[in-house]
Amino acid sequence: MGNGTVGVGGLKCKCGKSALILHPASGQPLCKKHFLRYIYKKVLRESAKLGILSCNKITIKIDKFNQIEARIVAEALKDWAKRKSCPLPEFDERGIYPLSSEKVVYLALRAFYELDKYSYELANPQLSKNPAYTLLPFEVAVYAKIRGMQPSNEYGKGPLWEIALDVTTSQTTETYNVFKILDNLKLLFPVA
Ligand SMILES: [Zn+2]
């Protein structure tokens, strides 16, 4: 990405630095620092809503499917914990399981097409305590690029995965609506 002006036509972030990306959802040009601040804020806001933010040590589950989201969540929570003088979060085999929006939408589709209870539990942020569900695919990709990480292995397969990717990549509002109607869908579809 070089000096950051490549690809965004020399646009400047609100702080005056060259923008790294033009945020598609908000239309705002963001430099690296303000992009990171933006996604950390998103994660912290959801963490607060899900009741995760507390001064107890938080453990974050990390596996081959969620390495990037897990690291975003860890950094956001670490920042918060430092400011509050609380124990820093740690990676573990158990704990909250950060998955970004395209994976959550895929799981939601599987839950209701296949009546799969496990997918429903993972797709439901309240049940899975997943503060990363509002992270969009391009945000995860830009973060990975900033940190020099490889994108995760492919998570899903087939038409449901294609729909999930398409919706979360190009239709932000629809993406967020999926999360809002999960509980109502469960009333209509008898997920096991
Ligand atoms: Zn900036």
Taking only the tens place, the pLDDT of each residue in 5-60 is 345 778 999 999 999 998 877 889 999 999 999 999 999 999 999 999 989 989 99
Task: Calculate how far, in angstroms, residue 19's C-alpha sits from the geometric centre of ligand 1.
Answer: 7
What pTM was computed for the model? Answer: 0.90
Taking only the tens place, the pLDDT of each residue in 52-80 is 998 998 999 999 999 999 999 999 999 99
CATH annotation of 31-188: 3.40.50.620
Tokens at 115, concatenated = 């009546």
Task: Calculate how far, in angstroms, residue 44's C-alpha sits from the geometric centre of ligand 1.
Answer: 19
Task: Calculate how far, in angstroms, residue 137's C-alpha sits from the geometric centre of ligand 1.
Answer: 21
Helix (H, G, I), strand (E, B) or coil at 18: strand
Task: Calculate how far, in angstroms, residue 37's C-alpha sits from the geometric centre of ligand 1.
Answer: 9
**DSSP label at 21?**
E
CA-to-CA separations, 65 to 47, 71, 89, in angstroms, rounded: 20, 12, 19
Distance of alpha carbon 147 from alpha carbon 150, whole angstroms: 9
Task: Calculate how far, in angstroms, residue 64's C-alpha sits from the geometric centre of ligand 1.
Answer: 31
Task: Calculate how far, in angstroms, residue 130's C-alpha sits from the geometric centre of ligand 1.
Answer: 27
Enumerate the domain spans of the chain: 1-30, 31-188
Predicted confidence band of residue 121 (pLDDT cuts 50, 70, 90)? very high
Residue 2 has pLDDT above 80, yes or no: no
Q: Which residue has the higher pLDDT, 121 or 187?
A: 121
Helix (H) or strand (E) holding 90: strand 90-92
